[in-house]
Chains A and B, each alone.
Chain A
Amino acid sequence: DVKVTQSSRYLVKRTGEKVFLECVQDMDHENMFWYRQDPGLGLRLIYFSYDVKMKEKGDIPEGYSVSREKKERFSLILESASTNQTSMYLCASSNPGYEQYFGPGTRLTVT
């Protein structure tokens, strides 16, 4: 079975802190994605990566950056967390042209 794991299920951070969310997949997928999920807004793409060291902006990249140094790992970085970044963050991976597999999500609260 494909497994996508995320470093934390719940995270509480203070405004202005730097936050790292880690995602690891074990299926040698080329593509990896970071979404945020908010009530009534569905899943919104923050960034995705189609290869090591490659990244593409999604719909809402402002306030976020990403890093993909190894194929299996995709990190989301909040340089200076703000309260409007309180959300559920979902990581996914896939091969091109095929379904995405999602991790369990990280619920981030910024106070």
Chain B
Amino acid sequence: GESVGLHLPTLSVQEGDNSIINCAYSNSASDYFIWYKQESGKGPQFIIDIRSNMDKRQGQRVTVLLNKTVKHLSLQIAATQPGDSAVYFCAERPYNNNDMRFGAGTRLTVKP
């Protein structure tokens, strides 16, 4: 069946380095994608989104890239800080649906 997945369950980076978190999706009908951050004991928090008519979108220190050809989504965090340590989820919305499909998450650890 269709699924949203992540390439790596954990990622460890040095403070100040750039982080890249990857996500593969298999539903070619998906037209909306979101990255969420979840800190321990909290609900997921919206970071950035992108629609299928775009291939790149930038926010504050974050960039989302969408490659529809290979059904791949990535989140880039510039100058990673200790406060970025969290679990990051990608989510996709199949076209004309109200609900989202979430990946299992990648745990990002930032080493001082």
Mark A residues whose CB is within 8 Å of B: 4, 31, 33, 35, 40-43, 45, 48, 50, 56, 58, 90, 92, 96-97, 99-105
B98 contacts the other chain (CB 8 A) = yes
Question: Can you identify 21 A-B contacts, CB atoms within 8 angstroms?
Answer: A31-B98, A33-B99, A40-B104, A41-B104, A42-B89, A42-B104, A43-B102, A48-B99, A56-B98, A56-B99, A96-B98, A97-B93, A99-B34, A101-B46, A102-B43, A102-B44, A104-B41, A104-B43, A105-B41, A105-B42, A105-B43
Question: How far is A100 from B100 in the complex, measured between Cα atoms in Å?
Answer: 9
Partner of B43, one of A31, A45, A90: A90
B46 touches A99 (CB 8 A): yes
In the complex, are the beta carbons of B105 and A42 less than 8 A apart?
yes
Q: Tell me the complex Cα distance, A58–B45, Å.
A: 21
Question: Which of B42, B49, B93, B98 is close to A48, meaning CB atoms less than 8 Å apart?
Answer: B98
Minimum C-beta distance from B50 to chain A (A): 11
Known: A41-B104, A42-B105, A97-B32. A90 touches B99 (CB 8 A): no
Closest chain B residue to A97 by CB distance?
B32
Residues of chain B having any CB pair with chain A under 8 Å: 32, 34, 36, 41-46, 49, 89, 91, 93, 98-100, 102-105
Closest chain A residue to B42, Cβ basis = A104
- Asked if A42 meets B98 with Cβ closer than 8 Å, knowing A90-B44, A99-B46, the reply is no
Complex contacts, B99 vs chain A, CB 8 Å = 33, 45, 48, 56, 58
